[in-house]
């Protein structure tokens, strides 16, 4: 496994209506992310943050200038992801809302495909016609598979960035009505919380890893709202019935054992709703588990 990590902040809250996740990169850095990864033997390079406009300069979220602004941010994330891979680094993207994955996953797959483990309470498979609120952070999986706004689908290279066989959803438990139909028809493998409850996290995770065995790299896209709100209160869209502390760490540890994790997103941490950076510290702990931290 590569031992060089490049941290890239994407402090965007333009993909959703609830404010605060733009401070997520700061929460993770304040939680000691770089130092803890350095202690594991990695060389750390912090590339700082992409510059993101504040929401107040836009009158309406759907106006042309707004869509162009978010498109430019995702384009920068795409280019930084592509460059990090070319430079031999493991890029870790700190969100911001989950819409950043439109750019990050596009960038890290620019030259070769990667399997994506999408760990999230939500399906993120809306398109503008089905979204109940128009929030882009509910659309990135659809966009990555080629559905939705063409301005977003065609960021970086044109067209879909993933095939349905290259992404697996884990921890899903909250889907919009029309989104269910879209996901069922997409061909994506989804492990809901109900299935995790029935079969156990170990069985589900190992099966998911096996389904991506045809790909040499894995990108982990971690939305911290996959965790139960009792242990991670500082998220923008909390949903009861999530992963426990140990389930989340076990998932990270099993993915680490593959030696194929080559990039990562950590998103949706909202310090405004948190308590003493509890969720930010939890995010740091999960990242370090993914990159080799063990009990023994």
Q: Tens digits of per-residue pLDDT, 2-11?
A: 799 999 999 9
Mean per-residue pLDDT for 183-208? Answer: 97
Mean per-residue pLDDT for 110-134? Answer: 91
Task: Let me know if residue 202 belongs to a domain.
Answer: yes
The separation between CA 37 and the C-alpha centre of its own chain, rounded to angstroms, equals 19
Annotated catalytic residue, options 225, 228, 265, 274: 225
pTM equals 0.95
Q: Tens digits of per-residue pLDDT, 155-179?
A: 999 999 999 999 999 999 998 888 9
Task: Let me know if residue 295 belongs to a domain.
Answer: no
Task: Let me know if residue 296 belongs to a domain.
Answer: no
Active-site residue flag, 22 = no
Active-site residue flag, 120 = yes
Annotated catalytic residue, options 22, 166, 223, 285: 223
Q: What is the pLDDT of residue 56?
A: 67
Lateral strand order in the sheet of 90-95: 43-49, 4-10, 90-95, 261-267, 218-223, 115-119, 167-172, 189-192
46, two tokens? 């912090």
Query: Which CATH number is 237's domain given?
Result: 3.40.800.10
Q: Tens digits of per-residue pLDDT, 19-58?
A: 899 999 999 999 999 999 999 999 999 999 999 987 766 6
Rounded Cα distance between 279 and 225, Å, is: 10
- Residue 100 clears pLDDT 80, i.e. is over it: yes
Greater model confidence, 18 or 201: 201
Active-site residue flag, 249 = no
Rounded Cα distance between 72 and 76, Å, is: 6
36, two tokens? 């803890």
Number of domains in the chain: 1
Q: What is the pLDDT of residue 178?
A: 87
Active-site residue flag, 137 = yes
Active-site residue flag, 124 = yes
Active-site residue flag, 219 = no
Task: Let me know if residue 214 belongs to a domain.
Answer: yes
Active-site residue flag, 110 = no
Rounded Cα distance between 132 and 278, Å, is: 30
Q: What is the pLDDT of residue 67?
A: 81
Domain of 9 in residue numbering reads as 4-290
Task: Let me know if residue 117 belongs to a domain.
Answer: yes
Active-site residue flag, 98 = yes
Q: What is the pLDDT of residue 177?
A: 83
Task: Let me know if residue 56 belongs to a domain.
Answer: yes
């Amino acid at each position: 496994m590569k031992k060089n990590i490049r941290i890239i902040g994407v402090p965007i809250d333009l993909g959703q209506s609830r404010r605060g996740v733009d401070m997520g990169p700061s929460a993770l850095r304040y939680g000691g992310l770089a130092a803890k990864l350095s202690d594991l033997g990695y060389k750390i390079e912090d590339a700082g943050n992409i510059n993101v406009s504040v929401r107040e300069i836009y009158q309406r979220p759907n106006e042309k200038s707004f869509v162009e602004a978010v498109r430019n941010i995702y384009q920068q994330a795409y280019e930084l992801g592509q460059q990090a891979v070319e430079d031999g680094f493991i890029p870790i993207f700190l969100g911001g809302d989950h819409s950043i994955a439109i750019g990050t996953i596009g960038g890290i797959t620019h030259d070769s495909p990667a399997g994506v483990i999408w760990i999230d309470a939500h399906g993120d498979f809306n398109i503008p016609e089905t979204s109940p609120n128009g929030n882009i952070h509910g659309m990135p999986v659809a966009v990555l598979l080629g559905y939705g706004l063409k301005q977003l689908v065609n960021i970086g290279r044109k067209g879909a960035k993933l095939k349905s066989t290259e992404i697996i959803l884990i921890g899903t438990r909250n889907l919009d009505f029309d989104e269910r139909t879209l996901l069922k028809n997409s061909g994506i493998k989804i492990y809901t919380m109900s299935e995790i409850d029935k079969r156990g996290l170990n069985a589900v995770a190992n099966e998911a890893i096996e389904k991506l065995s045809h790909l040499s790299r894995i990108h982990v896209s971690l939305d911290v709202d996959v965790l139960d709100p009792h242990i991670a209160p500082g998220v923008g869209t909390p949903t009861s019935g999530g992963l426990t502390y140990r389930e989340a760490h076990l998932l990270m540890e099993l993915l680490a054992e593959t030696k194929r994790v080559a990039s990562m997103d950590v998103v949706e941490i909202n310090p405004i709703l948190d308590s003493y950076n509890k969720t930010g510290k939890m995010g740091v702990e999960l990242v370090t588990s993914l990159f080799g931290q063990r009990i023994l």
